[in-house]
Structure 1
């Protein structure tokens, strides 16, 4: 019985400490947390910025600064190159505030999160495809936005990366004598990237590839 009483006393003591600590921390006002987050962000201390803005969002969810905190958390993750966390935060912002004026910026940043992960043509091409999807979505939904104009130059790079990847894969199949697979890739390349330099190369390779494929 004594052990049980002692257990409850310790539990109450710990919970009291936790309550005191939380109460002490929450002595910071929303304005103070905004100031802390802004100062940390400006200084490049993005982890501290995330903490300050997260505290603001958690402690003062109905504050006029809460939406700003959500956006700056995503931006801080982006600056830290924590792109998965940034995408999650940006998408959460868009889902919660679909009519907010920052949505074009949000879509652009999601596109950049993928764009910044573009790799060599022999690697995974998902970043190029995903960034292209976001940039096209931005242009379709907000054609007059300044961010739509910025997206245009990134689209060309994405398309170039994807066409080079398709040619790389098609050539690989050709070299390994998988002619039917190579033919499909060459045809796909021509159909989807008709204006690319890679498309012209594919056109030159198709006759020989089709000939070899028919022999098998």
Structure 2
């Protein structure tokens, strides 16, 4: 009985595949309508790749006809369902432009923007596509400020913006990690964290960025060699100046982040800086 059941299933599948191949290869009168009908049925069954192949054949045939709107929407959706987001972003955008009065226009515009979101890579990679996705979603928000998709659109923008924060933070942190043993140039790390804090003032990584910025200032100060520089005719003790900068940065950090997980480390840094600065008071 079980063997008979499997044979029956195989025959049904084979028959279905044969019918699909027959319609796919069909031409002449009635073939276009038959492909649309089967394509829609396959789409509703979740067989998006097969539906896509049929739709691709008949898109030119329906151009300018009343059924074109429905066809173009389903065609775009097949790419989206197949996770071909490069093409779905374009197809939905094309649909929204071609059918400005369509009841599907708002949805298509959102799905186009969401397709760009899906193309955004992990933060460790180049973020060009993330920036583009933010722009596309913001365009949607501006065009449909009362949209039912607005909460989701805002959520996507926040996620994408956080990726940019993570990327900028990772770059700055990398500078701070390689400086001690490789370049001995802490200025790049300090500058990178300055830029991060300027570009993302409300970032959830602000506390960490301030700590690593302070750490770079501290390491630059305590590891500096003793030398003087003439600035506008005045002799400046560079190491002393850097220690004073470190002291100021540590005090500012404790004031801004009194309950920080880094407070004890910062206080230890401050002690070392104070001890080093005392050496200059005994010299004078």
Distance 1:67 1:206, change over 3 A: same
The 5-angstrom pairing of residues 19-98 of structure 1 reads 24-30=27-33, 32-98=34-100
Paired with 1:162 and 1:169, the residues of 2 have a C-alpha distance of 11
Aligned to 1:168: 170
TM-score by length of 2: 0.59
Paired with 1:171 and 1:160, the residues of 2 have a C-alpha distance of 16
Aligned to 2:207: 200
Paired with 2:30 and 2:119, the residues of 1 have a C-alpha distance of 41
Instruction: Kindly indicate whether residue 188 of structure 2 is the aligned counterpart of residue 186 of structure 1.
Output: no
Cα deviation 1:111-130 (Å, max 9, x = unaligned) = 32232244433222233322
Residue 202 of structure 1 deviates from its aligned partner by 1.5
Q: Which ranges of structure 1 fall in alignment gaps of 5 or more residues?
A: 1-21
Aligned to 1:3: none
Q: State the number of aligned residues.
A: 194
Partners of 2:119 and 2:129 within 8 A in 1: yes
2:145 to 135, 143, 146: 143
RMSD (CA atoms): 2.9
TM-score by length of 1: 0.75
Residue 98 of structure 1 deviates from its aligned partner by 4.5
Distance 1:188 1:95, change over 3 A: farther
The 5-angstrom pairing of residues 101-140 of structure 1 reads 101-140=103-142
